[in-house]
């Protein structure tokens, strides 16, 4: 089994650390902070681009910053010039779990004040098509 952040490459006592100690050790890794900086840069760039509205006849397609972030993340992870190592990809995966948790919290604060409106809409929101 491989770890996201190898703590030790030999059989030293470091490999007998608890999970909490391994996380603290991983947080001190400069490679992790490279990933965090890259993620924050991509997120800031997506927010700076903002929503893009593409008119299509009488309607319009809106591309939100989340889509820009997904596109930028796909470009970074699929480029061949200087690919991210597997350890950095594992770190990004762990950070993604935390980011999704924060997204759910943000959405719940947005939806919370409008919960009565959602209840008034009834089953129309459950079966839109």
Q: Give the model confidence (pLDDT) of 83-125 as tens digits.
A: 767 767 777 777 778 888 888 888 888 878 888 887 887 777 7
Q: What is the pLDDT of residue 1?
A: 47
The pTM of this model reads 0.54
Q: What is the pLDDT of residue 37?
A: 86
Which has more confidence, 83 or 54? 54
Distance between CA atoms of residues 32 and 22, nearest Å: 13
Give just the sign of the alpha carbon dihedral 60, 113, 100, 48: positive
Distance between CA atoms of residues 116 and 111, nearest Å: 10
Instruction: Yes or no: say if 48 and 72 are a contact pair by the CB < 8 Å rule.
Output: no
């Amino acid at each position: 089994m491989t770890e996201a952040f190898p703590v030790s490459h030999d059989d030293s006592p470091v490999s007998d650390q608890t999970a909490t100690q391994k996380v603290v050790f991983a947080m001190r890794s400069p490679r992790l902070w490279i990933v965090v900086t890259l993620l924050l840069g991509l997120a800031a760039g997506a927010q700076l681009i903002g929503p893009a509205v593409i008119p299509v006849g009488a309607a319009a397609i809106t591309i939100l910053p989340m889509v820009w972030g997904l596109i930028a993340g796909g470009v970074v992870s699929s480029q061949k010039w200087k690919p991210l190592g597997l350890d950095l990809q594992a770190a990004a995966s762990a950070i993604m779990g935390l980011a999704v948790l924060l997204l759910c919290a943000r959405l719940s604060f947005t939806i919370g004040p409008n919960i009565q409106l959602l209840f008034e809409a009834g089953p129309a929101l459950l079966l839109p098509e």
